[in-house]
Chain A
Amino acid sequence: MTRKLSKPTLVESYDISADSKRRISLRRTGSKYFSVFAFSDGTFKLEPRKLVPAEVTIERVERVPIPKGARRAAVRLAAAIDNLPRP
């Protein structure tokens, strides 16, 4: 199922000049970090960057074939783990 995102609306428009070090100041930004996209025509686009919370982790998985005979050995080992004596 896809979720439809609402289209952003223009909230404010203004002209600014870059300072001597080519820096510009943004007004009333709601975000501290941005993803910046520079285009060949001199246009810049900024998108608020959402940092991933520390508790959210993505499990990394490598998909590789396993060697012959490993399946049987793995099943036996799993059974041994299941039958471990519990205090």
Chain B
Amino acid sequence: MDILVPFSIRKKELGGTISEEARKLFTKIKQKPELAVGISAKGLPAHITLYKYYATTANGHRRLLFFSRHTTQGRIENWILLFYRTKGDEIGDNMSSKNPAFSTQLVKNMGFATEDLSGSTIDAPLYERF
């Protein structure tokens, strides 16, 4: 499994650079992806799952959301980062459809990620892979 961070998500969620803290978290997530909570929703196609990951770092709690596209064999390798928020954040506090700020930003972030992945080439990927 690989974690992909599109450049636009890196800019919006991580302030432009991927911190050491985030890198450590990605390593942990790759080791134990089962700790993430899968969001199963009627509205989502069967081959798509959103994964919420609650993390604790030296600088406080973090709330991450990943987009996963999986095959019929099971989970695919790629998780796309969509959110990297703190607990006190408007979106990080409540990542559910009950939070209008989250709903709006989720659609936007998926759009940003789509643009980056669609515009990527082998020589010039518009994402970072972990």
Residues on A facing B (Cβ under 8 Å): 57-71, 73-78, 80-87
**Closest Cβ neighbor of B121 among chain A residues:** A85
Residues on B facing A (Cβ under 8 Å): 34, 36-45, 47-48, 50, 52, 67, 69, 76, 78, 80, 96-97, 102-104, 106-107, 110-111, 113-114, 117-118, 120-122, 125
Are B114's CB and A77's CB within 8 A? yes
Are B45's CB and A74's CB within 8 A? yes
> Mostly helix, strand, loop or mixed at chain B's interface?
mixed
Are B37's CB and A61's CB within 8 A? yes
Residue numbers in A under 8 Å from B43 (CB-CB): 65-66, 70-71
Lowest 8 CB-CB distances: which A-B pairs, in order?
A67-B103, A73-B110, A80-B117, A66-B41, A66-B43, A57-B34, A61-B38, A85-B122
